[in-house]
Amino acid sequence: MLDWIVLVYVSALIIAISFSVLVYYIIRTLKATEQTLTSVSTTIKDVENQLGGVTTELTALLNKTNKAAEQIQQKTASLTKVTDSLSEVGNEVLQVQTEVKNFLQNVSKNINRHNDGISQAIKFGSSTLSLLKKWRDKKS
């Protein structure tokens, strides 16, 4: 019977040692987990801080982009006015060119129609100048 009691005590001792070893490894695992979670927490805080900085920079960049877009829109509106004005000037130049062309065609037609009369007028003018010259020569 004493053997049974010794055996029970030895078994209890083995169970206690096994339990102690188990607890030891559980504690080590929990401490490693705690360190990992602390590291993850620190990393998350760092990421939050960096995202805050990035968010601020992105907000500033978006504001600048919006201002640039507004300026581009205003300049585009100004260029539209200039383009419209240039288009109107081009139309006016085309109209003046057409009018000049029509005028020159009319003059050309009239010259062709009155070609004989113009020739006679030039001959008459030449003859008149010759007579005047002769008259002056005789006077002198």
Domain range annotation of the chain: 2-139
CA distance 83 to 86: 5
Distance of CA 104 to the CA centre of its chain: 49
pTM of the predicted structure, to 2 decimals? 0.42
Q: Name every residue whose Cβ is closer than 8 Å to that of residue 111 and which is 6 or more positions away in sequence.
A: 118
CA distance 7 to 14: 10
- What pLDDT sits at residue 109? 80
- C-alpha distance across the termini of the chain, in Å: 183
* pLDDT (tens digit per residue) in 115-130: 777 777 778 788 888 8
**Using an 8 Å Cβ cutoff, are 111 and 118 in contact?**
yes
CB hemisphere CA count around 78 (13 angstroms)? 6
Structure-token match 């009018």, residue found: 99
* pLDDT (tens digit per residue) in 103-116: 888 888 877 777 77
Q: What stretches of the chain show up as alpha helix (H) in DSSP?
A: 2-113, 115-139
* Angle of the 115-139 helix axis to the 2-113 helix axis, nearest 10: 60
* pLDDT (tens digit per residue) in 8-64: 999 999 999 999 999 999 999 999 999 999 999 999 999 988 888 888 888 889 999
What's the DSSP call for residue 62? Answer: H
* pLDDT (tens digit per residue) in 52-98: 888 888 888 999 999 999 999 888 888 888 888 888 888 888 898 99
- What pLDDT sits at residue 140? 67
- What pLDDT sits at residue 111? 73
